[in-house]
Structure 1
Amino acid sequence: MAQLISLSRAARLVGVKRATLQKQIREGELHTFEGELDLSELLKVYPKTDLDGSGMVERADRIIENAFGKVLDTKDLPDAEVLATRVTLLSHELGTARARVNRFNKLVSRISDKLDSLEQAVGDPAVKAFRQWLESEIDEVQSAQGLHDEVLATDTFMRLLAAHVQLKPSGHDFFLNGSETLLHAGLRSGMQLRYGCTDGSCGRCRAKVISGEAKRVRAYPECLSEDELAAGYVTLCAHTAMTDVLLQVDEVIRPEEIESQVLPATLRRVDDLGQGMVGLVVNPVEPHRLQFLSGQSARIRIGDAAASYPIASCPCDETQVEFHINTADDNPLAARVAAGLDDVETLDLEGPRGDFVLNLESVHSLVFIAWDREFASIKSLIEQALALDVAEQIYIYWVTTDGSRPYLHNLCRAWQDAIDNVNYTRLEADPAVYGERAREVVGDTLAELAGQHYNVKVFDFYIGGPETVTEASRKYLVARGVPPAQVRTRHD
């Protein structure tokens, strides 16, 4: 009997990106059964699966080491009630599976005995050949059982620690660790879930539990109606997953679905990023939250000074919002930041704005291109792409025109060093790109990028920079065969 597992669990087990498995499915190397993979077929394609190398065993050892006597403190381990529920469910599945295996073993034994009797009675060579084939198949299954059992045991252990959450109708999915809320786990994983408060009062994160079991872990006042509760709705900000769950949820698909918000915020931190760039990290005043998508912008107001800037952080941590301010910009807010913010405690945010967002339905590898100081929105998109963990490859190109290092060069280097599928390249361009020679200089610069990829048509491109440069970049890539829908740009 086939042991079926989801694409996300399969990717975790064999240590590849989900996009890699999707590509192999499209090319016929793997086959799905109602959206899931047969574990035996998966191991035939990945026979050298290294469970130690996948990090699962190391994580298990770390959790076991830290859990003894610290169960109530660890964030990795679910609480006792959740663990008990998952163990009970897995025990039931194990008992059912054992009963099925016993029945199939008895059936195979009876078939083998019947073939022996037929062979002795009639001496038909076809019967003998079939019996030999059956014995060969049984031997092959038994010889592969070691790795199969080890992978299955690892998957079972993972199911104890992390619940698999699937979203309907999008088909998106993520894993929930410990007893974190469904909303936090979803945002941390790059999902575009709806939210709007910090105290469970708005109800925007409501979802219907189609299958599985959820548990309330936040003592927020109930904001759902009795009819909604009776229909199986929960608020994602207040509940965790007791088991693997399937949720019917209204995700944010298009930027225009998010209503513009005006809310107060506190200035949490001011960072000197170098080269005249200042990082502002702000916290919306509770119970407010700024709902936004990676790549979007917001208007910042400090007293009478206001301007719109791209958000540099990812909604993966929606409790804080980051901006990068170029103090050389010609606007009142940049001048206010340049003068110092020691006397500033509060400010106002208005937004979000813009449609420079990730295409979550794409299966392509990603190329991000930032020109000079226009990195904030690119950073936000990269962080969401890393949280989603589905892109097979991520390429980051940062182009400067003054000979200086990009102001967050070390961050990009750190991503490249720490994450196998991230590649970072620093490029230099002629400052004439900001004049009449924009198209020529862009062509010369991007030719170096194109030379590193034999087929640019298989990538999604996200480009940030001044309008003349982003438009010239878009035209260059489209002229080289990239479909227009795979090139997205943001400009000031």
Structure 2
Amino acid sequence: MSFQITVQPSGHQFSCEEDETVLAAAMRAGVGLPYGCKNGACSSCKGKVVSGSVSHKAHQRRALSEEEEAAGMSLFCCAIPHSDLVLQAREVVGSGEFPIKKMPTRVNALEKMAPDVMVLTLQLPANETFQYKAGQYLEFLLRDGKRRAYSIATAPEGGAITLHIRHMPGGLFTDQVFSTMKERDILRFEGPLGTFFVRDDSDKPMVLLASGTGFAPIKAIVEHERASGSKRPMTLYWGGRRPQDLYMDALCRQWAAEIPHFSYVPVVSDALPEEGWTGRTGFVHQAVIDDLPDMSGYQVYACGAPIVVESAKRDFVKDCKLPEEEFYADAFTSEADLQQP
């Protein structure tokens, strides 16, 4: 049995099988519902069920609370329909512009940028084209059907594909990256995925907010904006616990020197006295609030740990008058995150 799904306000319709999630059916039909992790952890795909009924597969309550669910809100990546549905959701123009492909890739280089951060450079098959938008991610296809997602850290104009991988001790994939992986190894991935990319229909100044390796898709966005000749003002706030977490600090300072409409604010929360940190301290999203108490005319693109993204959205909207629909995010969720209740 299949059900008819209608999305408001666009009026787009698609069919969904009874054992299929709403998001999977939308992606299959080329309907651009927003999404991030696809695992019920980041809340990017949250929308309202106007009519009809759904049940939800396992998900995190921070992404969809019991109160929100009772009010008709839904995580479309986990929602299984039990009837025809009418949904209210903000569709993403351009999300299905490029085909999602599965393809092999060869490891071209491994470069350790910090004790726990590796830059992985991939070489794609010569006979394949891989198109994506700056900010999107790919998923490595591992044994036993497992997947691991990483944002692409280079702009589409850059040629090579690079990823920034943080070592998660005991991690199925990251242990391999930091121990046994070597140049010329063959991997398989699927992509491009995600709806985290710049909305080109706006000329509002952009706040780019990153924590840790959440810098990866932000890097791709800055490079793409520069390559495309965009004149939109950009301010990057990059936060880490220690100075070494800002593993491409020199590149960001170079951008600030070379791009007239780009500025950079590094923020460190737990620097040691011997590290001699003299820059901004504290929570990275608080630095934004301190600098921009009125964000009513801005767009925000945020990527990093879920707690950073959630805190930024809550406080920017509540305290700084940021329109909620102008906050775009990609919360990094590890396997450990997904195991939390």
**With structure 2 as the length reference, what TM-score do the two structures score?**
0.61
Code of the residue aligned with 1:311 in structure 2: it is: I
2-structure distance, mates of 1:355, 1:278: 25
Which residue among 429, 448, 470 is the counterpart of 2:269?
429
* Correspondence for 1:490: 330
- Unmatched segments (≥5 aa) in structure 1: 1-251, 432-440
2-structure distance, mates of 1:470, 1:289: 32
Cα deviations by residue, 1:391-444 (Å, 9 ceiling, x for unpaired): 33210111112454501111111111122221111112369xxxxxxxxx98x6
2-structure distance, mates of 1:270, 1:384: 23
Q: 1:329 to 1:376 in 2, by over 3 A?
A: farther
* Correspondence for 1:326: 166
Instruction: State whether structure 2 residue 100 is matched by structure 1 residue 260.
Output: yes
Q: Is the 8 A contact 1:365 1:391 kept in 2?
A: no
* Correspondence for 1:271: 111
Code of the residue aligned with 2:312 in structure 1: it is: S
Q: Is the 8 A contact 1:302 1:346 kept in 2?
A: no
* Correspondence for 1:376: 216
Question: Aligned-pair RMSD on alpha carbons?
Answer: 2.6
1-structure distance, mates of 2:101, 2:256: 35
* Correspondence for 1:297: 137
Q: Is the 8 A contact 2:108 2:184 kept in 1?
A: no
Q: Is the 8 A contact 1:279 1:325 kept in 2?
A: yes
1-structure distance, mates of 2:117, 2:324: 32
1-structure distance, mates of 2:117, 2:286: 29
* Correspondence for 1:307: 148
SS in 1 for 2:214: coil
* Correspondence for 2:38: none
SS in 2 for 1:332: coil
**Deviation of 1:273 (Å):** 1.3
For 1:314-393, what aligned pairs fall within 5 Å after superposition?
A: 314-317=155-158, 319-328=159-168, 330-342=170-182, 344-393=184-233
Q: 1:281 to 1:343 in 2, by over 3 A?
A: closer
Cα deviations by residue, 1:425-482 (Å, 9 ceiling, x for unpaired): 1112369xxxxxxxxx98x643432332363222211111122220111111111211
Q: 1:299 to 1:332 in 2, by over 3 A?
A: same
SS in 2 for 1:374: helix
Instruction: State whether structure 2 residue 279 is matched by structure 1 residue 463.
Output: no
1-structure distance, mates of 2:203, 2:172: 42
Q: Is the 8 A contact 1:262 1:348 kept in 2?
A: yes
SS in 2 for 1:375: helix
Q: 1:303 to 1:281 in 2, by over 3 A?
A: farther
* Correspondence for 1:474: 313
**Deviation of 1:354 (Å):** 1.0
Q: 1:330 to 1:417 in 2, by over 3 A?
A: farther
Q: 1:482 to 1:256 in 2, by over 3 A?
A: same
2-structure distance, mates of 1:389, 1:273: 29
1-structure distance, mates of 2:147, 2:293: 45
1-structure distance, mates of 2:317, 2:181: 44
**With structure 1 as the length reference, what TM-score do the two structures score?**
0.43
- Unmatched segments (≥5 aa) in structure 2: 1-91, 272-280, 333-341
How many residues are paired up?
Answer: 230
Q: 1:257 to 1:418 in 2, by over 3 A?
A: closer
In the TM superposition, structure 1's runs of 4+ consecutive aligned residues that sit over 4 Å from their partners are 301-306
Q: Is the 8 A contact 2:165 2:213 kept in 1?
A: no
* Correspondence for 1:68: none
1-structure distance, mates of 2:100, 2:189: 10
Q: Is the 8 A contact 1:280 1:323 kept in 2?
A: yes
For 1:439-450, what aligned pairs fall within 5 Å after superposition?
A: 445-450=284-289
Q: 1:428 to 1:389 in 2, by over 3 A?
A: same
For 1:153-172, what aligned pairs fall within 5 Å after superposition?
A: none
2-structure distance, mates of 1:328, 1:343: 21
Cα deviations by residue, 1:333-356 (Å, 9 ceiling, x for unpaired): 111111132364322121111111
